């Protein structure tokens, strides 16, 4: 039983950090490497690996050491730790792919103080358990790495008509996609796509929950809401006439479309529908 | 006269055509985060200018020493981080002792202003192009002004977002990113980046 609970706990944190609260697509952290540096697949893979090597150990070390330090010292410790971890990365890269160091320029050292590392290591890690910190940093880094690699590959394919040095069958190139403009546009659409999926899933759940309410209750609730809407319109029309002193004028400037719909959770008469939505939210939170 | 006009043109170039945020994409997350609180923008931009200037001045002698060695590319970033660490520690202790109210007011803005890609990128970029001390300092100040310009332009997106008919999936960050992309495109147009 305990084993199952532990697995559920781990998968919850992992999914939360990787998917529902993706550091780049939802939280907007570590945008610099994604929009500015990840313009080719090779660069994207190198950035993702270096980010993982820097962020995961820094978070774990900060979890162990950060608890004992004062709050103002934590960012300093995180930055120095990640700086020291960059040294072996640079040494290995210097041996394996010296060109990539030149290609990335200042963007490789900048990874030391990227907002994910600083946030994870200085703010999140010291206040959590070691397991929680480890899973969170691994999931967060994987979340960023996936985005970096996807965007880098897409930019290289469309911007340079090649992928990993292999030329693609089309000759149309859009070099502008290799600039920060392209990175921002790709990121915006990827982020909107993820949010769209969340909205679709939530919408389906709400639809299912509302459909599970008996028809008679739904009808009664709809009638009540229509009545309230009608009263609201009349009240606003009267008030406007009183204020403007144009009681005889037909157009008051107020239209039904200007008024908020009553079929929402603020209306106490529609307890069933609001209850269904809140139930879905609770279920989502639990899952 | 030539000296003034040359430097003025150089400053305009660094602010408009080589803006560290909008043309190079460095520190985008910090600009977005800073632009959410319009009232703090001058303070954050001022802090970034001062800290960039300090880091540029302090890193310059170190870069002269390190550039000679083969391992400079590996060691330089760590040395710069240690300098930033020193700047942060001294400013925290100094402000806590001599202006505790101001330090309290700054709160998390101080570590936010020191440990960000913009302040860290200034000495790295100076080192990359081997600028002299005066140019390094001038570039640092222009970076702060460029940061203020970028953040001010991005902060206008909240007004645009409230007026525009944005699809649900694009509401929030995606819409803001598209807005910033348009500003970046405009800046690329100014710099001649689009042909």
Contact assignment for A105 to B128 by CB distance below 8 Å: yes
The answer to whether A26 contacts chain B (CB < 8 Å) is: yes
pLDDT digits (tens, 9 = 90+) for B80-138: 999 999 999 999 999 999 999 999 988 888 888 898 899 999 999 998 888 889 999 99
Average pLDDT, chain B: 88
Lowest mean pLDDT among B1-5, B32-36, B60-64: B1-5
Which residues in A215-251 are b (16+ Cβ under 10 Å) and which e? Answer: eeeeeebeeebeeebeeebeebeeebeeeeeeeeeee
Written in H, E and C, the secondary structure of chain A is CHHHHHHHHHHHHHHHHHHHCCCCCCCCCCHHHHHHHCCCHHHHHHHHHHHHHHHHHHHHHHHHHHHHCCHHHHHHHHHHHHHHHHHHHHHHHHHHCHHHHHHHCCHHHHHHHCHHHHHHHHHHHHHCCHHHHHHHHHHHHHHHHHHHHHHHHHHHHHHHCEECCEECCCCCCCHHHHCHHHHHHHHHHHHHHHHHHHHHHHHHHHHHHHHCCCHHHHHHHHHHHHHHHHHHHHHHHHHHHHHHCCCCCCCCCCCHHHCCCCCCCCCHHHHHHHHHHHHHHHHHHHC
pLDDT score recorded for residue B124: 92
pLDDT score recorded for residue B131: 85
pLDDT score recorded for residue A267: 41
DSSP of B118-138: HHHHHHHHHHHHT--HHHHHH
pLDDT digits (tens, 9 = 90+) for A23-61: 999 888 889 999 988 889 999 999 999 999 999 999 999
Name the residue facing B194 among A72, A87, A176 (closest C-beta).
A176
Q: What are the C-alpha distances in Å from B2 to residues B5, B62, B135?
A: 5, 31, 16
CA distance B64 to B87: 20
pLDDT digits (tens, 9 = 90+) for B40-69: 888 999 999 999 999 999 999 988 888 767
Contact assignment for B82 to A83 by CB distance below 8 Å: yes
pLDDT digits (tens, 9 = 90+) for A193-249: 999 999 999 888 888 888 887 766 667 767 777 777 777 667 666 655 554 444 444
- Minimal-distance CA residue of chain B relative to A194: B169
* B147–chain A nearest CA distance, Å: 14
Contact assignment for A106 to B184 by CB distance below 8 Å: no
pLDDT score recorded for residue B141: 92
CA distance B124 to B84: 12
pLDDT score recorded for residue A162: 87
pLDDT band for position A266 (50/70/90)?
very low
pLDDT digits (tens, 9 = 90+) for A147-164: 999 999 999 999 888 888
The burial of A149, by beta-carbon neighbours within 10 Å (0-12 exposed, 13-18 middle, 19 or more buried), is given as middle
The answer to whether B103 contacts chain A (CB < 8 Å) is: no
pLDDT band for position B193 (50/70/90)?
low
Helices (H), B99-172: 100-106, 109-114, 117-129, 133-155, 157-163
Confirm if B47 and B113 have CB atoms less than 8 A apart. Answer: yes
ipTM of this complex prediction, to 2 decimal places: 0.90
Contact assignment for B73 to A195 by CB distance below 8 Å: no
């Amino acid at each position: 039983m305990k084993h199952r609970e532990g697995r559920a706990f781990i998968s919850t944190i992992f999914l939360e950090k990787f998917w529902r609260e993706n550091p780049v697509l939802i939280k907007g952290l570590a945008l610099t490497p994604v929009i500015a540096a990840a313009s080719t697949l090779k660069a994207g893979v190198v950035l993702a690996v270096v980010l993982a090597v820097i962020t995961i150990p820094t978070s774990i070390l900060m979890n162990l050491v950060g608890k004992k330090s004062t709050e103002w010292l934590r960012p300093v410790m995180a930055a120095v730790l990640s700086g020291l971890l960059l040294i072996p990365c640079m040494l290995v890269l210097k041996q394996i792919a010296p060109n990539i160091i030149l290609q990335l320029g200042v963007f490789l050292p900048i990874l030391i103080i990227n907002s994910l590392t600083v946030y994870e290591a200085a703010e999140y890690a010291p206040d959590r358990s070691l397991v929680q910190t480890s899973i969170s940093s691994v999931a967060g880094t994987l979340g960023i790495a996936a985005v970096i690699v996807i965007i880098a590959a897409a930019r290289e394919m469309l911007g340079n008509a090649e992928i990993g040095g292999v030329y693609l069958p089309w000759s149309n190139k859009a070099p502008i996609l290799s600039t920060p403009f392209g990175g921002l546009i790709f990121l915006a659409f990827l982020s909107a796509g993820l949010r769209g999926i969340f909205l679709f899933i939530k919408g389906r759940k709400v639809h299912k929950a509302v459909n599970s309410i008996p028809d008679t209750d739904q009808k009664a609730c709809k009638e009540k809401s229509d009545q309230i809407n009608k009263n609201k319109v009349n009240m606003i029309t009267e008030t406007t006439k009183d204020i403007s002193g144009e009681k005889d004028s037909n157009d008051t400037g107020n239209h039904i479309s200007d008024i908020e719909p009553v079929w929402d959770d603020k209306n106490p008469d529609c307890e069933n529908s609001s209850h269904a939505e809140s139930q879905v939210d609770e279920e989502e939170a639990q899952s | 006269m030539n000296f003034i006009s040359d430097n003025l043109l150089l400053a305009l170039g660094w602010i408009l055509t080589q803006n560290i945020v909008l043309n190079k994409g460095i520190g985008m997350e910090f600009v977005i985060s800073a632009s959410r609180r319009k009232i703090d923008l001058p303070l954050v931009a001022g802090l970034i200018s001062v800290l960039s200037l300090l880091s540029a001045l302090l890193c310059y002698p170190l870069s002269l020493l390190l550039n000679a060695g083969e391992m400079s590319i590996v060691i330089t970033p760590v040395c710069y981080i240690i300098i930033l660490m020193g700047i942060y520690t001294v400013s925290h202790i100094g402000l806590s002792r001599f202006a505790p109210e101001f330090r309290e007011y700054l709160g998390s803005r101080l570590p936010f202003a020191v440990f960000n890609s913009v302040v860290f990128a200034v000495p790295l970029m100076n080192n990359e192009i081997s600028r002299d001390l005066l140019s390094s300092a001038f570039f640092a100040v222009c970076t702060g002004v460029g940061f203020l310009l970028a953040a001010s332009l991005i902060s206008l997106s909240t007004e645009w977002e409230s007026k525009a008919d944005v699809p649900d999936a694009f509401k929030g960050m995606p819409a803001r990113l598209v807005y910033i992309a348009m500003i970046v495109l405009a800046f690329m147009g100014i710099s001649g980046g689009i042909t």
